[in-house]
Amino acid sequence: MATLLSHVCRLRTVLVALLGVCALLRPLPAQHAGRGESGLRARMTEFLRALPDDRGSDRTRRFFPSSGDLSYVRTVQLEDGNTRAERWVIPASETSSLFGYRAGVRVNPLAESLEISYEGQKPGLLLDVVMRSGDQWRLVGRNRFVPPWASASSPIFVEWRREGETWVISAFGDEWFYHLPPWY
Question: Within 13 A of 76's CA, how many CA atoms are on the CB side?
Answer: 10
Q: 75-130 pLDDT, tens per residue?
A: 988 888 888 899 989 888 877 777 655 555 555 777 777 777 666 666 778 888 88
Supply the pLDDT for residue 107: 56
Q: 10-64 pLDDT, tens per residue?
A: 545 543 343 343 343 333 332 233 344 579 999 999 999 988 776 666 677 889 8
DSSP per residue, 23-44: HHHSHHHHHHHHHHHHHHHHHH
Indicate the SS3 state at residue 144. strand
Q: Predicted confidence band at 7 (pLDDT cuts at 50, 70, 90)?
A: very low
